[in-house]
Structure 1
Amino acid sequence: MKRIQFLNDVTLFMLLAIILIVLYSASPISIGSEYVPASILMMSSLALSLFFEAIPFLLAGVVISGVIQVFVSEQQMKKMLPKHPILAVITGCSLGALFPACECGIVPIVRRLLMKGVPLYAAVAFMLTGPLINPLVALSTYMAFGQDVTMMLMRFSLGFLAAFIVALIVYSVFKHRLELKHTTETLQPFIQQQRPPFSKRLSYMGTHAIEEFFEMSKFFIVGAILAASVQTYLSSSSLFAFGDNVMMSTMMMMILAYLLSLCSEADAFIAASFTQFVPTESLLAFLLYGPMFDLKNTWMLGAVFSFRFVFCLFVSITAVVYGLTLAVYFL
């Protein structure tokens, strides 16, 4: 049954990839008696660019997931985290800050951590800070805003605080529940063997990474297509029809961050282009919200977690980021 599912994942992945490549390689000339609209070509180009931009991080994510599955035991994982929820959340946020990952590549890692016994709230803290607070994001933010450390420091400090608060909300709502859709493993009997040879474990790690890559990538491609459609057919200027109202502009920038689904290593350059149109706090909301929760990431989260958890995460992140950025403005 699992092998059939794997073949289905590969087939769907190849089908979606072929469709995008065919559209991208086409030109606005006649195909038979029909014409390919320029907007379709632009959408497919954007979707492919999103895919190629994130694919290294997704590959890194599934490889790390395989390493955790094979070489790290549940007991070792539990020893790494403090038992007190607040300390565990702080540890999760700190580990995420040291881990250069995008919001797509980190999802399979978080799923593996949960299945190894890491509490949901600690895994969420790691998941939120990983794409938002890491050396690559720090450098890109610093360069995008004219080598000024102010925005970088504000992004990192508020990002850490936002992840901390959201993780505590998750703890208060879900306690120690996993909220995973699938918790069974295909090759669990292999893991239960007593220390198989290193070559066997390495082989299993590769098998696991390949299966997880095709399982996760199909949801990512769908999300990338949706995000590319929004970028193609929705004018960003239409979101700024409310003047200089900071409350509305902050909300609009968060919506824009969700819809554009930019990689956290590049979103600062897009945010900097809006400097003349919206307040600094609204730009900060854009930089905080996108790496935590965006359109393409929603599909991947929905494939892994229960609907109520994804919805709770959406509401919590939205409220916390909006509240923190407005607090910075008024205080």
Structure 2
Amino acid sequence: MSQTIQAFLGIILQAFPFLITGVLLSSLIGMFVSRRFIERYFPKNLAGGIVFALIGGFCLPVCDCVSIPVFRSLVKKGIPLTSAIVFMCASPVINPVVILSTYYAFGGNVRIVAARALLGIVCAVLTGLSFLIKKPHNPLKHGETESSCTCSCCEAGTDSHTEKPHAGAFNTLVHFLEHARREFFEVGSYLIIGAALSAAFQTLGGKLPLITGNTGKALSLFIMMSFAFLLSLCSSSDAVIGRTFIPRFSLGSVMGFLVFGPMMDIKNMLMLSSGFTKRFTLRLLISSFTVCYLVVLGAMLSGLEALL
């Protein structure tokens, strides 16, 4: 119990600075960067849309739960579904806060940071392109509105604050702090659960056999991606949690944890289901999991871990 508590506190102390940074930055974007700006300048053609989605995903320091309301808005405004999916999947993997937290969590290993970003880009683009095959007729729920999302993080995707140019500085500060507070406690709860499970795994993991060989790599990758889905960690702090699994899992499988987790997890599924049909949400889950699994496994079998 003592070892578990020490491991838990260590994970929390390392992850919280990046969680706070992500919350503050996403709140700033929610208040001062209008969603209309993104919608207005988002290219309508496929190739340009994918490039813009990747650039926007890199420039906007937002977590996965903030990218979803923006994704829903893009789909409503007629942005190609493929481009919108690329933005939603890529932004929580390649944005500056996630890059910084990954760099810190893995002791300044630039190769791991680059591998996560590159694998995230490849998986996001392939997931988006997969929807060119039998395009969904209308993925949005009938009568879905902008206010249908109840998650406090979704407020970062609205224009409620950016459309109040005459609001006083004090009121603006109050709104900013209130939004940051709600988002911190909501997202932080997932981090605490993930840290507790990770700490328990660290303590008890020594009794589990190592998973080796090509078959073991495939199994360990599947397990780690499943962990990512169930733990529902914030992408700004999941690297700290992911690193703790390395003693019992390969670095390649941990990379699958870091790539797939920000794209799709339980909380993201719930947020998507509020505005999209069940059929589309399920297809997006299966497509993203399959693409990430095949891409990361292929990289592992090609010698990714030796390069890292």
> What TM-score, normalized to structure 2?
0.68
Query: Partners in 1 of 2:25 and 2:66 — Cα distance?
Result: 7
Q: Deviations 1:112-168 (Å, cap 9, x if unpaired)?
A: 333333232222111111111111111111121121111101000010010001111
Q: Give yes or no for contact 1:57–1:104 (8 Å, CA) kept in 2.
A: no
Which residue does 2:126 correspond to in 1?
165
- Select the residue among 29, 33, 36 that pairs with 1:72: 36
Q: Deviations 1:272-311 (Å, cap 9, x if unpaired)?
A: 2222222221011011011111122221121122111111
Question: Residue 249 of structure 1: CA displacement?
Answer: 0.5
Q: Specify every segment of 5 or more residues in structure 2 that has no aligned partner in the other structure, as ranges.
A: 1-14, 149-158, 303-308
Which residue does 2:239 correspond to in 1?
268
Whichever residue aligns with residue 320 of structure 1, its letter is V
Query: Partners in 1 of 2:208 and 2:46 — Cα distance?
Result: 41
Q: What does 1:118-129 align with in structure 2 at a 5 Å threshold?
A: 118-129=79-90
Whichever residue aligns with residue 136 of structure 1, its letter is V
Q: Which moved more, 1:306-315 or 1:56-65?
A: 56-65
Which residue does 1:256 correspond to in 2?
227
1:243 equivalent to 2:204? Answer no
Query: Partners in 1 of 2:290 and 2:82 — Cα distance?
Result: 17
Q: Give yes or no for contact 1:247–1:326 (8 Å, CA) kept in 2.
A: yes
Which residue does 2:107 correspond to in 1?
146
- Select the residue among 52, 65, 71 that pairs with 1:110: 71
Q: Give yes or no for contact 1:103–1:131 (8 Å, CA) kept in 2.
A: yes
1:292 equivalent to 2:263? Answer yes
Query: Partners in 2 of 1:270 and 1:224 — Cα distance?
Result: 9
- Change in Cα spacing, 1:225 to 1:145, as seen in structure 2 (3 Å) is closer
Query: Partners in 2 of 1:257 and 1:108 — Cα distance?
Result: 21
| CA RMSD, 1 decimal | 4.4
Whichever residue aligns with residue 288 of structure 2, its letter is I
Q: What does 1:86-101 align with in structure 2 at a 5 Å threshold?
A: 86-101=47-62
Question: Residue 54 of structure 1: CA displacement?
Answer: 6.8
Which protein shows a greater Rg? Answer: 1
Whichever residue aligns with residue 218 of structure 2, its letter is M
1:278 equivalent to 2:256? Answer no
Q: Percent identity?
A: 29
Q: Specify every segment of 5 or more residues in structure 1 that has no aligned partner in the other structure, as ranges.
A: 1-49
Point out which structure has higher relative CO (alpha carbons under 8 A, 6+ apart). 2
Query: Partners in 1 of 2:190 and 2:241 — Cα distance?
Result: 20
> What TM-score, normalized to structure 1?
0.64
Query: Partners in 2 of 1:60 and 1:176 — Cα distance?
Result: 35
Q: How many residues are treated as equivalent by the alignment? A: 271
Which residue does 1:43 correspond to in 2?
none
Question: Residue 64 of structure 1: CA displacement?
Answer: 5.2
1:177 equivalent to 2:138? Answer yes
Residue 174 of structure 1 aligns to a residue whose secondary structure is coil
Which residue does 2:278 correspond to in 1?
307
